[in-house]
Amino acid sequence: MKTINPFESAMSQLANAYGVLKSKIKDQKSKIELQNKIEILKQPQRILNVVIPVVMDDGSMRTFQGYRVQYNNARGPYKGGIRYHPNVDLNEVKALAFWMAMKCAVADLPLGGGKGGIVVDPKTLSSRELEQLSRGYAGAIADCIGPDKDVPAPDVNTTGQIMGWMVEEFIKIKRAEVGMPWFSPRQGPDLSSIHKGSTAKAVTRLETARLPARYFDSLRSTFTGKLIKDGGSEGREEATGLGGLFVLQSVLKKLKADSRKLKAPLAVAVQGFGNVGYNVAKFLDANGFKVVAVSDSRGGIYVEEGINPGLTLDCKKKNGYLAGCYCSGSVCDLKKGRVITNEQLLELPVDIIVPAALENVITAENARKIKAKVVLEMANGPTTPEADTLLYTRGIPVIPDILSNSGGVSVSAFEWEQNLKGQHWTKEDVNKKLKKKMETAVDAIWAVSQKQKTDLRTAAFVVALTRILAAMK
Ligand code: GLU
């Protein structure tokens, strides 16, 4: 099997959309201007390469390789998650950062795109080691992040708890930087010793130190996807999955108008059972879809009657694996289902497949074997450009990642806004705003795809690029 470089895939998607944009321009001057801006978008603006030392529980020292890629900030601070995975590499993080820039523009957020990653299998670390690694990473990138610079969040294998460690470490560093490591948010700083004989420089430091506790609190907005107790937003944890449901429902309405043969209850196979996979399965199940298959990195299960995602998750937690967790209705029964591979899952005779794990799972090799009528991309970059073409010619719409999974970053943006304004919105409010955002994004992309006669991915890129290019100087 040939290895696929996700950054090359990302650049080929950029080239496609550029082709569409270019074909609409008549005058030479605008053509050159477009070409020049696209040239800038072919590379990230900044790449941070960090090494994080961790003293392991056995006393030995291990160093971990980490990255933060700041792709583009034309529309606002860089925004994007941090991934912990043994296969993280720079090309992957560059691609993910590029997709974040596009995704934030698709959702019309005042944010750019970035992404981070650490080469690590977090399952092999103790909780103390994981905390040290996460704090070390936050410290290593602290100079380059902040609410107005770069706002990281969770991604594959990172959680609200990890964001909590990171934000705490970041605020600790910022306090130390103003020379007030003893600054107490409750009492405010004791400035008396510094007042005596202060130099101009000390005054500047003093000014910063006089910042109210509110300032350091607002630094919480440097990370999103935090636990509620650390300043997180209601609804953030489920947002990617719920956003996926809203996008799918919206697109299906448009496809129906297209007289496609899709009859309820629609059968769905979900690849991945992490935060995104589980939540999307849960919301689909609760909204009249029949989730017949789910999987994790070790393989999947198929239950013809339809899986109960909540019971299946409980069973997986108890056993440590999905096999045997054939939970349907209110019971789990070994006779109800069977084990399948991750590859088989994508080729099941279902209505919709939902890749919700990692990139490059739908390739030129299996695209011909896909029987589903719609692909909802909840992972980032699950479909290669060759597979995209094959599916398009077969008339199978692919709802692209930068649209389908933009619910997560949208609620991240809500969290950022709430932190900056010192507000806490209700879950009902958050979900209402999320629904509106997803529907508006679908409408814009659908309209472009109809007008330009393109697939939905190219249309999403055209929408995103148009917004980013307008913000570029
Ligand atoms: N990691 C998520 C994504 O790929 C969320 C990013 C964020 O919330 O900033 O969209």
- Cα–Cα dist 425/463, whole Å: 29
164 domain residue, yes or no: yes
Residue 73 shares a structural domain with residue 198: yes
Residue 168 shares a structural domain with residue 120: yes
Question: Residues 155-192: pLDDT tens digits?
Answer: 999 999 999 999 999 999 998 887 554 444 444 444 44
pLDDT of 373 > 60? The answer is yes
Give the residue, out of 412, 414, 416, 418, with the most ligand 1 atoms within 8 A of its beta carbon, to mutate for a pocket test: 412
Give the residue, out of 68, 84, 100, 415, with the most ligand 1 atoms within 8 A of its beta carbon, to mutate for a pocket test: 100
pLDDT of 404 > 90? The answer is yes
pLDDT above 70 covers a percentage of the chain that reads 91
Long-range contacts of 426-431 (CB under 8 A, 24+ apart): 426/234, 427/234, 427/235, 429/234, 430/233, 430/234, 430/235, 430/236, 430/239, 431/235, 431/242
Residue 245 shares a structural domain with residue 180: no
Boundary residue ending a domain (389, 404, 419) = 404
Residue 179 has phi, psi (to 5 degrees) of: 75, 20
Ligand 1 centre distance from Cα of residue 167 (Å): 16
Boundary residue ending a domain (368, 384, 404) = 404
DSSP 119: E
Closest atom of ligand 1 to CA, residue 83: 1
User: How big is the CA angle at 188 (ends 182 and 191), to the nearest 5 degrees?
Assistant: 70
Boundary residue ending a domain (173, 205, 230) = 230
Ligand 1 centre distance from Cα of residue 154 (Å): 6
Whichever domain contains 12, its CATH number is 3.40.50.10860
Give me 358's structure tokens: 């990692």
Residue 218 shares a structural domain with residue 359: no
Residue 214's Cβ-count burial label (10 Å; 0-12, 13-18, 19+) is exposed
pLDDT of 371 > 80? The answer is yes
pLDDT confidence of residue 204:
44
Ligand 1 centre distance from Cα of residue 354 (Å): 17
pTM: 0.92
Across 291-295, average pLDDT: 98
pLDDT confidence of residue 361:
97
B/e letters for 222-253, b = 16+ CB within 10 Å, e = fewer, are bbbbbeeebbbbbbbbbbbbbbbbbbbbbbbe
Full 3-state SS string of 46-114: EEEEEEEEEECCCCCEEEEEEEEEEEECCCCCEEEEEEEECCCCHHHHHHHHHHHHHHHHHCCCCCCEE
Higher pLDDT among residues 338 and 198, named by residue: 338
411 domain residue, yes or no: no
pLDDT confidence of residue 88:
98
User: DSSP labels for 229-244?
Assistant: GGTPPTTHHHHHHHHH
Across 376-390, average pLDDT: 97
- Cα–Cα dist 413/419, whole Å: 10
Whichever domain contains 257, its CATH number is 3.40.50.720
Question: Residues 423-452: pLDDT tens digits?
Answer: 999 999 999 999 999 999 999 999 999 999
Query: Ligand 1: residues whose CB is within 6 Å?
Result: 79-81, 103, 153, 155, 224-225, 380, 405, 408-409, 412
The confidence band for 213, taking pLDDT boundaries of 50, 70 and 90, is confident
Residue 266 shares a structural domain with residue 182: no
Closest atom of ligand 1 to CA, residue 103: 10
Closest atom of ligand 1 to CA, residue 154: 1
36 domain residue, yes or no: no
Residue length, the chain? 473
The confidence band for 262, taking pLDDT boundaries of 50, 70 and 90, is confident
Q: Which domain holds residue 219?
A: 6-17+45-230
pLDDT confidence of residue 217:
83
pLDDT of 275 > 90? The answer is yes
| Ligand 1: residue whose CA is nearest its atom 9 | 80
Closest atom of ligand 1 to CA, residue 224: 8
Ligand 1 centre distance from Cα of residue 196 (Å): 47
The confidence band for 218, taking pLDDT boundaries of 50, 70 and 90, is confident
Residue 201's Cβ-count burial label (10 Å; 0-12, 13-18, 19+) is exposed
Sign of the Cα torsion 90, 404, 106, 157 reads negative
Q: Sort strands 290-296 and 299-303 into parallel, antiparallel or unpaired.
A: antiparallel
User: Mind telling me the catalytic residues?
Assistant: 115
Across 31-60, average pLDDT: 98
Residue 62 has phi, psi (to 5 degrees) of: -125, 145
Distances (CA, A) of 370 to 234, 281, 398: 37, 20, 12
Give me 52's structure tokens: 């994080």
Helix axes 427-452, 456-471, angle to 10 degrees: 100
- Cα–Cα dist 205/227, whole Å: 32
Q: What is the mean pLDDT of the chain?
A: 93
pLDDT of 1 > 90? The answer is no
DSSP 372: -
pLDDT confidence of residue 220:
95
Residue 158 shares a structural domain with residue 273: no
Give the residue, out of 162, 409, 417, with the most ligand 1 atoms within 8 A of its beta carbon, to mutate for a pocket test: 409
Residue 156 shares a structural domain with residue 219: yes
148 domain residue, yes or no: yes
| Ligand 1: residue whose CA is nearest its atom 10 | 409
Range from 118-127, 203-212, 340-349, 453-462 carrying the lowest mean pLDDT = 203-212
Instruction: Indicate the number of domains in the chain.
Output: 2
Backbone conformation region of residue 290, classed left if phi is above 0, alpha if psi is from -120 to 50, else beta? beta
Question: Residues 330-357: pLDDT tens digits?
Answer: 999 999 999 999 999 999 999 999 999 9
pLDDT confidence of residue 178:
73
